Amino acid sequence: MFTFDPIYAQPTEAEQEIWEQVDVVLKEARTVLDELRAYKGATQAIREAIQNPSDEGLQEQAWTAVLPLVGKLKTFYQFSQRLEAALHSLLRALTNETYSDPTQHLEREQALAKQFAEILHFTLCFDELKMTNPAIQNDFSYYRRTLSRMRMNNVPAEGESEVNNELANRISLFYADATPMLKTMSDGTTKFVSENKNLPIENTTDVLSTMASVCKVMLETPEYRSRFSREDTVSFCLRVMVGVIILYDYVHPVGAFARSSKIDMKGCIKVLRDQPPNSVEGLLNALRYTTKHLHDDSTAKTIKTMLQ
């Protein structure tokens, strides 16, 4: 069993070009997370404007407060598109026919495997923050309602040019999902498989199942775990493990929970259950509510019970 270095893996010459392209996106991902953590919303201004509909001053204050926030939400949405493109680049590299099996790909392209892991880590971090911040959807809903009212009254609206109606619809759909970034990555992986029909689906699912297995072994084996030099490496590996399980469940015809699955779901859930409860509830919920096949008849009762 090999392990990949989730923190320090460096690109080889063969990986360098793709690694540099993806690295630009991952640097931006860190900024996106910082901005999302700092996102306070315009809840108070919106509430006062709604409670006092005839007070033009309060309407103006709420609109002024919401506009820059909508700009941020638009940026996050557009970033999700760039992240999906980066995911496709990594999948192409990690699933091509250069090596005969996924273990060889992951062993010899550790820097790309690490970037794939970082995308999944970011994805779950983004969605955890989004789920705990109701202001995001409220702000955007208020923006759309106000814009619609301005149009009906033929009032010129600053900010309309920044988010046209078609883009507003797409952004609205994005944030309406409980886990928007995970949905983007799941849809993106499914799209990658359907667009590359000449590539056996196993090339993709085997990379995902191997990464899940590597993370599980690294987390459950004291010898490997003792090598983690940073405390956050544990949460990194846990998020990556859950992320690849969800992608596998979307892409594989029978999913991650079936008996024929190449992912040891009982083992993975046990690893999650063995962590301090408060630290993994969000990840357990991701398995409960964002997977595709958990409630299929083919899922063993013991697995369903473990996730109750």
pLDDT in tens, 218-235: 888 888 777 776 778 888
Q: Is residue 193 part of a domain?
A: yes
Question: Is residue 10 in some structural domain?
Answer: no
Rounded CA-CA distance 59/48 in Å is 8
Confidence of residue 139 (pLDDT cuts 50, 70, 90): very high
Alpha-carbon distance 305 to 283, whole Å?
Answer: 16
Tens digit of pLDDT for each residue in 153-167? 776 666 555 678 889
What's CA 14's distance to the chain center, in Å? 27
Q: At what angle do helices 201-220 and 110-131 cross, to 10 degrees?
A: 80
Question: Percentage of residues in the chain with pLDDT exceeding 90?
Answer: 60
Task: State the alpha helices, DSSP H only, in the chain.
Answer: 16-37, 43-51, 56-95, 102-108, 110-131, 135-152, 165-176, 180-195, 201-220, 222-225, 232-251, 265-273, 277-289, 301-306
Would residue 41 be called left, alpha or beta, if left means φ above 0 and alpha means ψ between -120 and 50 degrees?
left
pLDDT at 122: 96
Q: Mean pLDDT highest for which of 68-72, 99-103, 273-277, 279-283?
A: 68-72
Assigned domain for 2 exists: no
Considering the domain boundaries, does residue 6 fall inside one?
no
Q: Give the model's pLDDT for residue 163.
A: 78
**31, exposed or middle or buried, with CB in 10 Å at 0-12, 13-18, 19+?**
exposed
Q: Which domain holds residue 214?
A: 15-307
Inter-residue contact 213 to 2 (CB < 8 Å)? no
Q: How confident is the model at residue 102, as a pLDDT?
A: 67
The lowest-confidence range among 104-108, 163-167, 185-189 is 104-108
Residue 4 lies in a domain: no
- For residue range 197-256, list pLDDT tens digits in order: 888 898 899 989 999 999 999 888 888 777 776 778 888 999 999 999 999 999 999 999
Give the number of residues written for the chain: 308
| Total domains present in the chain | 1
Say which residue, 155 or 66, is predicted with more confidence.
66
* 207 found inside a domain: yes
Rounded Cα distance between 236 and 243, Å, is 11
Q: Identify the residue with better confidence: 174 or 152.
A: 174
Query: What was the pLDDT predicted at 37?
Result: 96
77 domain residue, yes or no: yes
Give the per-residue pLDDT at 160.
54
Q: How far apart are CA 183 and CA 177, in angstroms?
A: 8
- What Å distances lie between residue 57 and 51, 52, 129, CA to CA? 13, 10, 32
pLDDT band at 3 (very low <50, low <70, confident <90, very high): low
Angle between helices 232-251 and 265-273 (to 10 degrees): 150
Of 172, 256, 170, nearest to 206 (Cα)? 256
Instruction: Tell me what the pLDDT averaged over the chain comes to.
Output: 89
184 part of a folded domain = yes
Please report the pLDDT score of residue 156 as a whole number.
66
DSSP symbol at 96: S
